């Protein structure tokens, strides 16, 4: 069922921010699991430990699907419902696929999730809890293109769906309603969340009041942060697992970099060693979040140190994933097997067996 049953119903979840979304959808299509309106918590002790005097945490890690992707997928799946589309596909490192599965299930949309065999089992287990088809593949993007072109499945990837950034404008609305931040830091993969947050701040604040926007990637990093690392060697930290949570290339990168520069912010790359150090500090003070969230806090720690950014005003860390995602263990022997496809022929058979409808005539 949708969060709003009829025209005139009180908006539920993130739909209180619907005027910012740039699209008008009927109330009966507005899916909600209670996403949005996540807490904005002061973290004075943690801030002192990191060198950030006025630290606040935007707890997107408390979202109903375990990450901020609930906002984007809630909007995209609602738009699908309104348009009468009932089949979708996503390739994802996990969080977007889990959110897509939750909202597709809520809206009665058939979903194909294409994920890497190296996806942590905690995310695979979440996907197993939904009725969609989850397929492991070393070539998820190539198979996604086939599903879009030959089966006409709607592409829910944040980097290509033009509506994807819009829902994140709601984060901006919640930040400026209760604070006047000087800087906002968040981990971003495709760049959709960073771009949407920037767009929301631009809509809601005069230029002189907009905070610096800082986008964080895991080492070795990708296009979102490349301009800030052109002339510098990378860290000796060779553990690049954090980099697997991001997209090396995204068509949103130019727009994100432009928005970050215009805000007075910058891009940051964080390695697993830095994030692990911050994990120990945060855990001692009762703050538990995902590796992406820890990387965000690590970037703030560095920015407040020798990087010598101004520490005036509050700094906000957008924590994008929940603490269960700290477990990076891959599939265990004995886990329920998931189907595997490495060719379009194998994928076609799986889609036919799962009762997907092929609308391509060729």
Which tens digit of pLDDT belongs to each residue from 296-352?
999 999 999 865 566 678 999 999 999 988 888 887 777 889 999 999 999 999 999
pLDDT digit string, tens, across residues 95-125: 999 999 999 999 999 999 999 998 999 999 9
Scan for tokens 């005003």, then name that residue: 313
Number of neighbours of residue 356 by Cβ within 10 angstroms: 20
Contact of 191 with 218, CB cutoff 8 Å: no
**Edge-to-edge strands of the sheet including 133-136?**
133-136, 110-115, 87-92, 154-155
pLDDT at position 86 over 90:
yes
Q: Which fold has domain 40-66+163-326?
A: Rossmann fold (3.40.50)
Q: Cα separations (Å) of 147 from 98, 117, 144, 346?
A: 19, 19, 5, 12
Residue 359: pLDDT band with limits 50, 70, 90: confident
User: Where in the sequence of the chain do the CATH 3.40.50.1100 domains occur?
Assistant: 40-66+163-326, 68-161+330-353
200, two tokens: 């929301």
Model confidence, pTM: 0.92
3-state class of 224 per DSSP?
coil
Cα separation of 263 and 72, whole Å?
Answer: 23
For the cut 50, the answer to whether the pLDDT of residue 5 exceeds it is: no
| 29-63: pLDDT as tens digits | 999 999 999 999 999 999 999 999 899 999 999 99
pLDDT digits (tens, 9 = 90+) for 125-150: 999 999 999 999 999 999 999 999 99
pLDDT of residue 308: 59
Q: Band the pLDDT of 3: cuts 50, 70, 90.
A: very low
Q: Return the CATH fold of 68-161+330-353.
A: Rossmann fold (3.40.50)
């Amino acid at each position: 069922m949708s969060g709003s049953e009829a025209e005139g119903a009180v908006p539920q979840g993130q739909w209180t921010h619907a005027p910012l979304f740039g699209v008008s959808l009927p109330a009966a299509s507005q899916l909600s699991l209670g996403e949005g309106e996540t807490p904005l918590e002061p973290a004075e002790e943690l801030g002192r430990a990191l060198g950030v005097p006025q630290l606040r945490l935007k707890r997107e890690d408390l979202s109903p699907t375990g990450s901020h992707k609930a906002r984007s997928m809630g909007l995209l799946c609602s738009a699908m419902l309104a348009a009468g589309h009932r089949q979708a596909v996503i390739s994802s490192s996990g969080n977007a696929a889990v959110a897509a599965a939750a909202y597709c299930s809520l809206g009665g949309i058939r979903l194909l999730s294409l994920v890497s065999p190296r996806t942590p089992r905690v995310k695979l287990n979440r996907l197993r809890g939904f009725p969609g088809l989850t397929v492991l593949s070393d070539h998820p993007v190539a198979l996604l293109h086939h599903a879009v072109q030959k089966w006409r499945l709607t592409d829910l990837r944040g980097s290509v769906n033009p509506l994807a950034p819009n829902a994140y404008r709601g984060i901006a609305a919640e930040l400026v309603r209760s604070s006047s931040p000087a800087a906002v830091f968040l981990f971003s993969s495709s760049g959709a969340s960073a771009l949407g947050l920037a767009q929301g701040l631009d809509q809601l604040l005069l230029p002189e009041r907009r905070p610096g926007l800082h986008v964080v990637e895991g080492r070795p990093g990708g296009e979102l942060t490349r301009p800030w690392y052109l002339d510098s060697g990378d860290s000796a930290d060779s553990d690049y697992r954090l980099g697997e949570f991001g997209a090396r290339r995204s068509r949103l990168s130019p727009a994100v970099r432009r928005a970050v520069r215009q805000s007075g912010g910058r891009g940051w790359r964080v390695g697993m060693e830095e994030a692990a150090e911050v994990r120990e500090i945060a855990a001692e003070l009762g703050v538990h979040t995902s590796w992406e969230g820890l990387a965000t806090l690590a970037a703030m720690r560095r920015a407040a140190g020798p990087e010598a950014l101004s520490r005036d005003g509050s700094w906000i860390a957008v924590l994008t994933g929940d603490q269960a995602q700290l477990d990076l263990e891959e599939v265990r022997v004995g886990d329920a097997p998931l189907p595997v496809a490495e060719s379009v022929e194998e994928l076609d058979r799986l889609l036919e067996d799962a009762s997907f409808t092929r609308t391509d005539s060729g």
